[in-house]
Structure 1
Amino acid sequence: MSHTMGYKVALSFEDGVTRFVTANPGETVADASYKARINIPLDCRDGACGTCKAFCESGSYDGGDYIEEALTDDEAEAGFCLPCQMVPETDLVLRIAGTAEMAKSGIGAFTARIDHLHWYADNTAGLTLTLENRQDLHFLPGQYMNVKVPGTEEERSYSFSSGPDQDQLAFLVRTAPDGVMTTYLKERASEGDTLELEGPIGSFFLRDVKRPVLMLAGGTGIAPQLAMLEKIAQAAESGAQPAFPIHMAYGVTWDKDLVEVDALGRYAERIEGFTFDTIVADPASEHPKKGYVTQHLAPGHLNDGDVDVYLCGPPAMVDAVRKHFDGEGITPSNFYYERFAVGVPHERALHPAGAA
């Protein structure tokens, strides 16, 4: 984004809600937030108290003037910052201390229309939606929306499989027997239907690529990773991104669960240094790579721990990957993960990624 337009600052709250504000050239994050009526924690406003201390997940900025009591050199070096003083030099993602509710900044509500409903297999659907006010929805690749199931009071959570700059929104839905979303999609849904969505939500999102990346996906956990790859591909094409090796291991139970493999092939052409493996657990499969994702990780993929890991899959997969890292004596530089359960209402799904 050109600096004359200002920079987009994503404020990531402790309750998983993300709000975006635009900081004009020379404007502090705190001033931009207040103009947008988002009350981030603040007290002195002149870099003396440290009340507003936040953590910068990605992007660069001028930290401004403040005293050591408010922010130590070690903290500043580690990525902590003071929104009342800092002026963005790029788009930013800031982790804010406190909840969105406390900041009196509710979750966004949107209305979308079903453009296309595509069944990859009897257990996985792809939804392509058109949003009435697409320009008002900003999200980080990896985040999700809560979707109200038409004709019910229930909501389900789905990660975007489309990138933040694409016009249409795409989601992958893994069906569950007798699931309310499954029943709707199989029996009632048709193109042109209206859906109510809330979000964006989630702290599983792509950070700046500063070292090799390992992406691990289980089942529909591929969805948020596709959104991340779209963002990486766009950055690569604009020359904004140094090329680090990025490897994805995508594991499923049955052959029919492998979806969007063609899209991964296209990303391999668009992103220098991107490679991927697909792995099927079913012993009867003819697939060249069988078993579990952890059995197909080479030492190079772990890079002695100098790697950022993004994992999205069911709880058992998250645990298996953790055990594998421990067994190899590897502690990744960063380990971002989202675990999801199929067919669970969003209040109980810890970190949803595409359950019906």
Structure 2
Amino acid sequence: MCYRIALNFEDGITRFVDCKPGEKVLDAAFRNKINLPMDCSDGVCGTCKCRAESGAYDLGEDFIEDALTEDEAALGLVLTCQMVPSSDCVLSVPTTSQACKTGQQSFAATVARIAPHLDAAVVLELDAEDGDNAPVFLPGQYVNIDVPGGGDHRSYSFSSVPGEQRLGFLIKKIPDGLMSNWLSRAKPGDRLNLTGPMGSFYLRDGEGPLLFLAGGTGLAPFLSMLEVLARAGSNRQIHLIYGATRDADLVLVDQIAAQAQRLANFTFATVVADPASDHPRKGWVTQHMPGDMLASGEVDIYLCGPPPMVDAVRHYLDENGITPASFHYEKFTPNAPLKASA
């Protein structure tokens, strides 16, 4: 049995390596031709220091405190030359992928299904071509998809779960948009090239309550997160607020409702900004934030939506003196790669 280690680099690129039982992460990375920072490899210099975002591991006792202090270890810092995983782990690497002599992964997929949702969005499902190696990513991450004949790419978050051949995406329809135009004439079997995964917006381990804030097609990464949580039998308190400009922009609500049947502590609310809408909840996401979750200081907030929504939520939290346990957000624009922050 091997443990899957996600290496998240500063430039947003993620690479996965399999670590054998008893193997140190640094050795596993080198075996996969990824040159993580190192100097001594003996737990003396501290050059290989990274941050463990999740997972179980043993650091042993063969390193000196000058390389890794007790306080640093308590904060999740690790020496990859000493770290032996005992579960899947996620590591934040404080340098670029290029500096580690690696780069983005690319793979091919074919169109399996295209399902339009009025003039609002399109569900795109792809089948990865390499049947022996299903694409892996962290729930919430994205890929770049090359637009055939367009000489450019567009960035989309996975709405599907990691490690499966069928990949799902929720794509906003843009009048005369490069991808939208291609999707209007695409058909099953058409081939696409993808690059990734990428992004620092992904679900972290934890036990505290989760507040998910989605705007428009920013719902996609939360569909992936919810499915992962449901399969894990999570008991965390989860509340999703899904905001849209018009009634027609609320898509895949049935999928959200289905997760409420599987996750005992999951609730959700939809909000429409259009004042002419008959929707029971109108206005902005910030007007429907659950005060009890925010007041506890224990909630982890995840936010994905267009820049005005992200900025409004950040301003709301600052203005009201709300400090969540953690705050992860991702801005997106229709015709540009996603910009992730945490």
Q: C-alpha displacement at 1:333, in angstroms?
A: 1.0
- In the TM superposition, structure 1's runs of 4+ consecutive aligned residues that sit over 4 Å from their partners are none
Work out the CA distance in 2 between the residues paired with 1:228 and 1:64. 33
Work out the CA distance in 2 between the residues paired with 1:316 and 1:13. 27
Q: Secondary structure at the match of 1:324?
A: helix
Q: C-alpha displacement at 1:109, in angstroms?
A: 0.8
Q: Which is richer in strand?
A: 2
Q: Which of 175, 182, 185 is residue 184 of structure 1 equivalent to?
A: 182
Partner of 1:84: 81
Work out the CA distance in 1 between the residues paired with 2:295 and 2:240. 14
Q: C-alpha displacement at 1:228, in angstroms?
A: 0.7
Partner of 1:218: 215
Gaps of 5+ in 1: none
Once the two structures are superposed, what CA deviation does each residue of 1:269-311 show, in whole Å capped at 9, x if it has no partner?
A: 1112111101111111111111001101121231422111100
Partner of 2:35: 39
Contact 1:175–1:343, Cα closer than 8 Å, also in 2: no
Identify the range of structure 1 (143-152 vs 162-171) with the bigger mean alpha-carbon deviation.
Answer: 162-171
Partner of 1:59: 55
Pairing of 1:301-312 with structure 2 (within 5 A)? 301-312=293-304
Partner of 1:163: 161
Work out the CA distance in 2 between the residues paired with 1:210 and 1:100. 31
Q: Secondary structure at the match of 1:340?
A: strand
Work out the CA distance in 1 between the residues paired with 2:268 and 2:65. 46
TM-score (norm 1): 0.93
Partner of 1:229: 226
Counterpart amino acid of 1:57?
Answer: E
Q: Which of 128, 137, 141 is residue 139 of structure 2 equivalent to?
A: 141
- Residue 73 of structure 1 pairs with residue 70 of structure 2: yes
Gaps of 5+ in 2: none
Q: C-alpha displacement at 1:176, in angstroms?
A: 1.7
Work out the CA distance in 2 between the residues paired with 1:84 and 1:270. 41
Work out the CA distance in 2 between the residues paired with 1:303 and 1:167. 41
Q: Secondary structure at the match of 1:119?
A: strand
Q: C-alpha displacement at 1:222, in angstroms?
A: 0.3
Q: C-alpha displacement at 1:166, in angstroms?
A: 3.4
- Residue 154 of structure 1 pairs with residue 152 of structure 2: yes
Q: Across the two proteins, how many residue pairs are aligned to each other?
A: 339
Counterpart amino acid of 2:56?
Answer: S
Counterpart amino acid of 2:158?
Answer: F
Contact 1:247–1:301, Cα closer than 8 Å, also in 2: no
Q: Secondary structure at the match of 2:333?
A: coil
Work out the CA distance in 1 between the residues paired with 2:287 and 2:293. 12
Pairing of 1:321-332 with structure 2 (within 5 A)? 321-332=313-324
Partner of 1:268: 260
Counterpart amino acid of 2:9?
Answer: F
Work out the CA distance in 2 between the residues paired with 1:180 and 1:23. 40
Q: C-alpha displacement at 1:136, in angstroms?
A: 4.6
Work out the CA distance in 2 between the residues paired with 1:208 and 1:222. 20
The percentage of counterpart residues that share the same residue type is: 52
Pairing of 1:100-119 with structure 2 (within 5 A)? 100-119=97-116
Contact 1:252–1:280, Cα closer than 8 Å, also in 2: yes
Q: Which of 222, 238, 242 is residue 246 of structure 1 equivalent to?
A: 238
Contact 1:304–1:330, Cα closer than 8 Å, also in 2: no
Counterpart amino acid of 1:213?
Answer: L
- Residue 318 of structure 1 pairs with residue 310 of structure 2: yes
Q: CA RMSD in A?
A: 1.3
TM-score (norm 2): 0.96
Q: C-alpha displacement at 1:137, in angstroms?
A: 1.8
Shift of the 154–38 alpha-carbon distance from structure 1 to 2, 3 Å rule, reads same
Identify the range of structure 1 (199-208 vs 126-135) with the bigger mean alpha-carbon deviation.
Answer: 126-135
Counterpart amino acid of 1:324?
Answer: Y
- Residue 209 of structure 1 pairs with residue 201 of structure 2: no
Counterpart amino acid of 1:138?
Answer: V
